[in-house]
Each structure stands twice: as C-alpha cells, then as structure tokens.
Structure 1
C-alpha cells in the first residue's frame, strides 16, 4: 500500500474485477509528525497516477467535511448518506476557519469491528499546501456505518460516524411545519397590540417546495414572511407545506388572540360558522346538517349571538342549529359584545339530501414523525411516530404497525424509536366492514446524542372527587385535583381552564359548586419550556331539586359531529340525555380526547344498564368516525 495526496481534480476509482474500491493509502504511524507525514505523501505522489484509472465520473451526491484550528472536532461533517457513488470533499483552509496553518487528515477506519471497511481513504490537508487545503475523492458507499477520524497525533478526538442507507426511492413523506407566535402577552395569554406568526417547514426527502397559510378560513396564500396580526380579535391561522415530490402536510392550526393596547373596545365580535354532517360526492349533507356558531370578542366580551334560518326572524343562539329538511338552506348570524359593537351579518348556505348507505371504502391512515432533528434531518436520540386512522363509513376497527420487518403489531400509542440507525415503519388500518387500507410507510434515521436537551413533555393528570349519585353526577359540589411530573428539567407550573378558554395558574384543589355539566382543560409546562397536550376532564354536578342539564340536547338520536349513531337519545337521569353526557358540540382539544371521553361515558352507561353492549360499541365507533375535535 502507499499513501498519496489528492489533487484538486477528482480522484479516479481503482477497480478490481466487479468490486469498486476506494483510494488505497498507507496508515499513519502513531509517532509520525505532520512534517514527516507531508514528506511521505510527497515521495508517494509520483506513483499515484499510474495506479488510478482516468475515468473521472461525477457522483450522485457530495459529502463535505471541513476543519479549522480546533484539534477536538471537525468544523462540519455529514451524518448520513445514501448508498452508491459519492464525491467526498475535505477542506482545511482559511475559508473554513483554519487561520494558523494546522494540518488535519480525513481518514476512514479500516479495522474497528462494527464498521464498513471498504473505503481506505486518507487525506492530509493544510491551508498552505499546493491545493489550499481542499481535496476531492470519488468513492462508492455501501449500506452500514463508516468511522472516520484525524490520524495526526494529538487530534484523536476528531472522530465521527457516517450512516449510509439504501436509496429510499420515491419520497412519500410530507414536510413538517411548525408555527412560532411572538409578541407581548397579557396574563391571559392574549397578545397586546399585535402578534407575529412565523412558519418553518422541513423535509428530509425531496425538500420543501412551498409553504402556505389561510387566515380565519380564507383562501390559502403563499407564505413569504412572518404574518403580523395587529387588529384586536381572535384569529385562526391554518398552515401547510408541500415538498418537491408533491407531498402535502396535514393542515395545522395556530389560535391567536390580539387585544387593544389602549384598553378601549371599538371592535365588533367575530362570528365563525361551522356546518357539520356527512357529505356526499356533491358536497351536500346527507340526512342532517348541524350549524355551530362561535363568537369571540377580545375586548369587552360577547354579550349575545343570534341566528335566522331561511330568512326568518333572528332568534337567540344557544345550541347548534340542526337542519334535517331536504333542500337548500341559509343560516344568517350576528353577534353583539358588551360594549355594544355589533358584527356585520354573515351567512352559511348548504343543501340537505336524503341519506344512502354502503361502505366499500377502506380507512385512511396518516403518520406523523416528531423529535429533535439535526441539520441533515436525522432524529437525535429518538423519534416518535404517531398514527391517525379515519373511516367515514362503518368506522375504524384496528390500526397496526410493523417496525423494521418485525411483524405487524396493534397500534395503541405513539411508537418511540430510540435505537441508533435507519428504520422503516409500515402501517395499515381495517374498518368494521373488513376493508383494509394500503400499507403506508415512513423512513427515518436515529443518531445518538451526548447530553441531549430536555425535549420530553411533562406528564399531567387530573381527577374529580366528591359524593356521586347513582348516575355518576357529583352531588352539590366536586373537587378537582391536578398533578404533573417531569423527570428531566422538572415542572415549572400547571394551568387550567374551567368552562372557558382562559388558562389560569393552578395553585391548589378547585372546588366547583355550580350545577350542570362542566369542562376542565389542564396542561403543564416544564423548566425547558415543553408543554403537555391539553387534557380535558368532563363532569356534571347535580343540585338537589335542580335539573343537571337545564338546556338539554333532546334530538331523538345521538349525533356526533357529522355522524348519526342511530342510538336512541334517552334521558339518563337528573334531566341529562346521552347526548348531553357525550357533549359532541363541546370545544375538544383533539379528536382522540373526544373518543376517550365517549368510551368512558359509554362504558358507564353500559355498566348502569342504560344501554346495551351493542349500543356501547356503536357509540364508540361513531365517535371514532366523527369529525369532532379534528
């Protein structure tokens, strides 16, 4: 073997039969000095051209290492690559930060067990050599791991790994988009005067092609710079991204409230309509349509909301408007705040048609990968894969996943992948009619990290205590206790919101005495800034002689969002129907939170003998199929 210095031109490959080998170089003796190393290379330089073929060929990918004046690490280095041809660039120059003329090598390990040994590359570079410290080499990478290091004595901590995976082929993974809201906030979390929303998109496959956003349900527009919201009110900013392979991310939503900086309320409320129900191919609602009106006012607060159906007189809006008459309909609406500001009238027009049935469509399944990523898109320490299956027909029966070919398993919670290296997770879902989705797939790479930061959310839980009647209602009062724990940076604070969207700091047990149904949202934040997903706790208080549900949902069947369960909506006691307990029209933080709630209600109703086992299963399946909380 012999060692040689690479020229600025690309170094040709040495081929032996059908196997492609890399550069052949001499190992550096441990006691050699940098000067001896340069002399050895100089003496071998004349032999190099005769050993290489003059078939300079461009590689598919370029992998760049740089060095500077440090002897403890490379200034930059790739962590992953794709199997096949590659151009390796090593630069140790003034341009990369080496301003003292220090030599470094890029040497590939050919002896340590557990690594690939098919590349014998050994490059010495100095800012003042004939190439200015920059060299290139053509190699062929094979799947696995390569270890590289600096062979100059005293530089032993300059070492790293390159993980090489098979060519993933077609990019089928959508980009990941995150939103950051900045601005001065008040005690309730509202932004004073203005808020600025910045969007960031990443794609480890073909790269991000575009980012779009929609404000308050409007048309999507391209995102070019941070969005400034400087009018008082509540905003819903929806965003998504598309990669160069045409994959589009699932829309995400940022809710922002802006309040006046001077405290004077001259802004009318904002009313947002939502029409839900099962849609046919023409966009008409099958059987029924439900109109939900949501009014918000960041100043003095909403005083009243009114609606008018099909040109009739305005009436107070207290519950969702259910329309089950076949034909076209228009619901007009307006709201007034406590300062007397009245919103401009709005309207929602839709069509109701006769229902039809038969489910031959398999469920749809989407995957979301989360975790800390480095500059190359690999996940540091671990990656978490969450699966969401939906079926608009008979409902989802099961979801399964297969990690690295180990066989399909039932999916019950997000899958945490924390083993270093490349991984493939495939997934599928089956509905209650036996339709099975086509398998989906996500590819990811996990790399180890020393002293990783705390990126784990705290764990928060809440419970209700108090005397209950036979129907599960709390008598006269209920006490809520919230707990949180965090094994890394520790819990910073806990918050809760009772029967509204305003979060307050939790300092001790909360006693609720108001009769009727209640909803408590809770969350915790740790000292690293990680926040739990908002949990939801629902309970009802029965006061002696008082109807626990004075404004009751008395529709004949239990309807959840866009799906009619066909289960009779009977009174369960204390004036509350099954629909009252399920509360499908409440403000749910997520679809799965709603499904868990319905499961608990259905299990209790079955245990109390209010419903049969068949109806229990039907209520749970309808909750999974519904659009509540999405």
Structure 2
C-alpha cells in the first residue's frame, strides 16, 4: 500500500483514475500517521469522490474491423473517456482511427458529442482523454474514417441510483410524396423517435386507427386510401410511460392515368485534384421526382455489381474509375430510363501534413442593422487538396462539437457563436474558425409577404436554349417575420417544398411556378419562369470555350490602379461545362466560383481552363497585367476579405473601405504587436468607435466586431 501511495504521490501513473486512487491513499495515510483534522477529513471525502469517477477505455490497433478493446457497460454520471491508438496498443502501421459517438440513429442516446481522432504519430502519441456525462440507456459508437465502417459497438449505461419519474418524449415524422393539399400519394411512412434523459428509453408503441398498440421496431408504411391517425407512446427503463400522442394524415390514390416515369438526377461530391479525380473517396447522391403518382423507390448499380435499393448517399473509396447506373419507379409502376455517372477515385497523398480549409456562410433574412430575423442558417464547406476531407464538425454556443451533415439553423433571440473545424484523411485538423450571428425576433405585426425570385443557369446554345439540363435556383427574402417556406411546381405537377436547386433534364419547353410564405403566414403571389431544354450532343469531343474579362481603373500607361477584377466564363454546346479553374501567379489551380479581386501591386499572371462533362479540357488561357498602388491609398495591400474576421472569428460585418483606401480589417491590424489581449481589445474598441461616429458601421455592427476581438487569442 505504501508503494502505491508513493507511486501515486510522485505522479508516475498516467490515468486520471489512478491519480484519484493515489490521492485517496495519501488521505488515508494521514489517518494512520496522526490525528485527523477537519481539513484532512475533507481531503479524504474529496479523494474518495474522485476515486469513484468512471474511466472508460477504448483501444485500437492495426484492425479496420473492430476496436482492440472497448467497454460494454457503464453507470450514469460523469466519466472520463480514454481513447488510445498507439504502438503500445498494437498499432504498428501508424493507422489513424476515430472514436465517434452516434448522435442521429434512432434508439440510442444522442446527448454525448464525442469525435476523437487518434494516431500513433499525433502530438499525444495516440492517447486522448475527454470528460463526458452519461445518461441511462444505450450509446452507439463507431470509427468515422471511410473503410473502417465495421468498427462499431454499443455501450449500455445503467441508472446510477437516482429516482427517474419523468416519462420519455416521443416525436413522429410522416414522409412520402405529397400533393398540393399535403395528402400522401399512394402511401405514407411513419417514423417514431423517443428520448429519455433519465433511465433511458425501453420501448416505443404505436397503433393505426385504433387497431391496438403494438411494438414499434422501425418505420411503418400505410398504403390504405383514406384518413388515418397514428397514436404513439414510449416507456423508459424506470417504468414511466408518456402520454399518448396522435397525428392525423390522409393517403390518396395515385393519378390513375400516370404513364410518365420519374426523373432521376445524380450528384457526385468530394475533394478533387486538378484533373477532376476525387481524393480518397467520392459520394454519389441520387434524387428522384414524380409529379404524377409519386416516387416508389430508387435503385443504383455500382460498377455492374447489380441493382440494389438506394436508401442513402453512396460512398465509394476504392481507387480507380467507377460508374454508377441508376433508375427510379413511381407508384404507377413506371420506371425511368437508366442514367449513369462516371468518376475516378485517386489515392490521397501519403505525406499530407496540411490541414483542410474550412469556410462558413451565413444566410437568412436580415434587418437594416444586419441582424438575422427569426433565424439564420450557417453552411460549412471544407476542402483538402491532398488526402481529402474526412469530417467537418461544429460547436454552437459551447454545447460541444458534433458532426456537420447539413446547414445549421440558429434560432432564439440574442448573440450566437458557431465554432467549426475539419479533419482530413491523414488526421490533420484545421484551426478552429468561428462566426458570430445575432438573431432578433420577427415583427409580430408583419403583413407583407416575402419577395421571391428565380434564376435559371446552364449552358445555352445560340438560340438561348439550355443544353442537356437547366438548373433553377429560387431565392426568397422577408425583412419582417422571416421566410418560413418556399414551394414550387414544375409544368403541370403539384407544388412541393423547395430545398435545393431544381435540375430539369427532360428536353422540351418548361414552366416552373413558385411562391414563398413567411413566419407570419403571408404568402407571396405566384410567379413563374419559362425555359427550353434540348438534348446534349452525345458525340461531343469539343472542349469548352473560356473567356476572360479584366476590369478596373487604369492610368495613362494602361496599368491597373488600386485593384483589378478578373472574371471568367465558359460555355460548352455539347455536354455542358463541368467546372472552371484558375491559377494566380504560379499558385495551385483553384475552382472559379466568383470574380477574383487583386489588390497587391506588381505584375500578375492568371492561367485558366475549363472541363466539360465528357472530360474534354480546354487549353490553358493566360492573362498578364500590371497593378500599381492608388495615389493617396494609405493601405496598398488591403485585406479585402468579404467580412471582418479576427483570428478566425467571423463577425459577419461587411469589410468595407473606410474612405482612405483601408478596409476595416486593415485598421484592426490583427497581425500587429500588442502588449496584451486587453490592449488589442482596447485598440479594436477605439477603431470601431471612430468608425461608428463616422457612420461607417452601426452600433450593433461595432458590438459584433468587439465580440470577435474578445473571442480571439491575439495578444494572449
């Protein structure tokens, strides 16, 4: 015992549990060696409490199918999670693994956001710890790295002794193809989810139309025509049963004379190299629509392996060229012609030490002060030119990191901070970035409907017709209560919710009608846009044509003064333009999405090219020009980022020119030397105070910039 005491006292043990036991031994030693004071008794109690903490340890080795060891049970309450993936645990190939807790699959607890990436080569030698609080029930954990999908397990947590008297909460979701009145065409699918923060969910039950309760084990499909009601309840492990909830719905007959098959589109996403190959993996997402009887199912065939049901995006990580063939069937039995998409997956770079780059975009209705009305949506995008992006995470208002899978909706009046980061397939994690969003309540007296507009994009022929496909993007704004929903109808089809740009590939003339409703219930008048789609030339061998435009003020010697803007555009009358890329001053090629603004004085060279959907690439174009500083410009090489960003914290305030050639970011000077963090914050307060008095920014915008400065690490 004395040896254990000395070992703990000298700090030779690594785990938190061992240190807690050693601390308890030191306190007990005081009992043996002399009288016990009140302070010593307190130390004993504190050491005993620490010793009671749980330490749950997972280990990983060279296997891609299972963890080397993992706990099966735990007790509700605080716990220390230890994840070790090191040479000591058997990892001799230096493979990276993660320990990720599932926060979406029904039937499991979702209150622990844990995503630890560990490698024998990382700064901790592959051993990491995290503090969590467990609740009764089951947790599902897995390895989130592509190809490691079999590394999965369950942790069962039992009640730590507290008396649970609160019943579970049950939420229903009813899905299926709907007509303009919200009726479900042909069938409706009911999904039930239950949560319980006490002892955990034990069972879920349901009944359809008072036919008697039965256990819920998975989504339930109802295809009988008519009005229906689903009733549901759940019971937790302590025996508490929720009140019975009910949701009505209606199933209607599919259109009896429907002879038109569904329309199916495929989208391939992932990190790409300069040749268009997908680095590490590619994800294929299929979407089908049917304006008649509704879509019954989608199928896909990967590399000729045979058709199988499409239920979620298909991830392909095997290196080489791949082809996904797809089709869809509606509720009247019509099956679409086969479509296909071909792509190539390439190996990640082996010596990748560069973390991904992550950007955040905030959208939503804004008032005159730049605050978001009712809610805001934050979209994250990550790129990694070497091994490819493995995961993106976000943390809203300090609630803990969780996986990013779709735009994050922020609600609730006040200031909110969303922090984000990304990890690539080589285990490199980016520095944290953040964005500050201010939400204000909607005007309750709002009687003005939203404004909604449509933009049609795609490659056009000489007659203005869209070649191969047309993509319609709808945009709605409402400065009162904020936009609630946007809906559209294509040709003679029924209205449905607008969630992403609409791709139209069927040749012929089309009309898309659209409208929007705000949170106060005001609906805009119906608008429409008409366009024509023609078939692409299947024998296309001609590469796209790329044009470049350079604009900006010039002096008498044709030098561009202060700034120059490069705009690229490409057309392809065959298969259509797939992407446009450019390289500035010998740098790596970058996807072109918007005009490039250049402010640094000197000689500049822009190279550019385009690739169509058949893989034809244009020859590199070249643009060379000279840029000189503007006379009287106090900031020659201005920071021209779109918004004011301080040490990665985005205030969302526009980074405008303050009147002397300097932007707000120039005046803040985040790269400067400051005696302390408080000194930097004081500097930002002084600068923004002057800008506020000069009318460059508003008081609320000043507050957001100062908050970003306080959240930074500059001067620390």
Q: What is the TM-score when the length of structure 2 is the normalising length? A: 0.25
RCO comparison, higher one (Cα < 8 Å, 6+): 1
Tell me which structure has the larger Cα radius of gyration.
1
TM-score, normalising length: structure 1: 0.28
